[in-house]
Amino acid sequence: MLELYGTALKSRLLLGTARYPSPAVLAAAVRAAGCEVVTVALRRESAGERAGQGFWSLIRELGVHVLPNTAGCHSVKEAITTAHMAREVFGTRWIKLEVIGEDDTLQPDVFGLTEAARILCAEGFEVFPYTTEDLVVAERLLQAGCQVLMPWGAPIGSGRGLNNLLGLRALRAHFARVPLIVDAGIGVPSHAAQALELGYDAVLVNTAIAQAGDPVQMATAFAQAVQAGHAAHAAGPIEARDFASPSTPVIGTAFRG
Amino acid sequence: MKIQVNGAWREVADAQLARALEDLGYGGCVVTTALNGEFVAVQARERTALAEGDRLEVLAPMQGG
């Protein structure tokens, strides 16, 4: 069973809640996926529209764990203030820490990220840092007090899958006991299955499901892929090789000798 | 006095943050606030005074990835 900061979870599929065609479809997708953790954000509330109030009611009705993010923050200061605000509103010590360093790729500013992680961990937050697959950065984040890492697969919303397999493999091998969640860039269920096959503990998916033609069906497909990938990793995949290796026994082959 | 609320200039009559939020229409809302970039907890709203030109952020839960 997956355990994140002491919380045991059956599902290894975490869902973002943005970009769904409607709140009803979001709720149906979360249920179809058997998802137990959803990410949420904070945005400016209009006193007239009160959009956030309805959204918060919907999330509470789903009865899932909430992982607030600091999306859109470009500095340590913004991320820390946002984390404090999120802790108050959502009533959780969990924070998905994003400090964005570059707008075209939404690549994390890993220097700001490690600094913000150090401050927030010291304040008692349970930090889920959105990071790259860089081993040195990962080590710094663990030193800062993070107990979970969320490396990107590819840029957020790109649907490119696991962009740096070698790097992700190295990260998994290097930090065998740290829960690792591939966050960002996953486009189709096979990408999610691949992450789990590599031994990643979970994936976080948003756009690939929310923007699918049928988000509920896609959520189901992702849940199946995640289960299959996890089972495959547990079962011990074979090593890839460069040349053929006959699967049918060679001994007793007719017409030979 | 005039302050910026979520980036827009607004006139507020009351300098106390808790009452200003009521006046601005946020009564009964689940919101969290920051004043000039600093988080202001719910418990601190009554003792927080607004000043001319302050930047107030009023945020609420929203969809996120």
- At A224 the pLDDT is 98
Range A115-135 average pLDDT: 98
* CB-based burial label for A127 (10 Å; 0-12, 13-18, 19+): buried
Name the amino acid, one letter, at A219. A
Residue percentage of chain A with pLDDT more than 70: 100
Q: Which residue of A has its CA nearest to B26?
A: A47
- pLDDT-based confidence at A250, cuts 50/70/90? confident
Range A1-13 average pLDDT: 96
CB contact under 8 A, A43 and B34: no
Residues 89-148 of A with CB under 8 A from B: 89-90
B41, B62, B65 member nearest A43 (Cβ): B62
Average pLDDT, chain B: 95
CB B21 within 8 A of CB B33: yes
Six-digit token pair at A148?
Answer: 């979970």
Q: Under DSSP, is residue A112 helix (H, G, I), strand (E, B) or coil? A: helix
Average pLDDT, chain A: 96
- pLDDT-based confidence at A209, cuts 50/70/90? very high
- At B17 the pLDDT is 96
Name the amino acid, one letter, at A108. P
Distance (Å, rounded) from C-alpha A170 to C-alpha A176? 10
**pLDDT above 90 (res B12):** yes
Phi, psi at A243, each rounded to 5°: -125, 170
A76 touches chain B (CB under 8 A): no
Residues 179-218 of A with CB under 8 A from B: 204, 206-207
CB A208 within 8 A of CB A218: yes
Phi, psi at B31, each rounded to 5°: -135, 160
> Within a 13 Å sphere around the CA of B45, how many CA atoms are in the beta-carbon half?
19
B29, B39, B61 member nearest A81 (Cβ): B39
What is this model's ipTM? 0.95
CB A183 within 8 A of CB A210: no
**pLDDT above 90 (res A257):** no
B24, B32, B64 member nearest A47 (Cβ): B24
CB B60 within 8 A of CB A56: yes
Range A41-64 average pLDDT: 94
| Of B63, B64, B56, the residue nearest B26 (C-alpha) | B56
Distance between A237 CA and the closest CA of chain B, angstroms = 31
Range A185-193 average pLDDT: 97
CB contact under 8 A, A45 and B29: yes
Q: Which residue of B has its CA nearest to A96?
A: B65
| Of A80, A73, A77, the residue nearest A108 (C-alpha) | A73
**pLDDT above 80 (res A251):** yes
Active site residue ranges of A: 96
Residue percentage of chain A with pLDDT more than 90: 93
Distance (Å, rounded) from C-alpha A41 to C-alpha A86? 8
Residue A13: its H or E element: strand A13-16
**Which chain B residues contact residue A40 at CB under 8 A?**
61-64
* DSSP one-letter code for B45: G
Range A149-165 average pLDDT: 95
**Which chain A residues contact residue B60 at CB under 8 A?**
42-45, 50-53, 55-56, 89
Distance between A71 CA and the closest CA of chain B, angstroms = 8
Whole-model pTM: value is 0.93
Distance (Å, rounded) from C-alpha A242 to C-alpha A224? 30
Six-digit token pair at A161?
Answer: 């899958």
Range A147-173 average pLDDT: 96
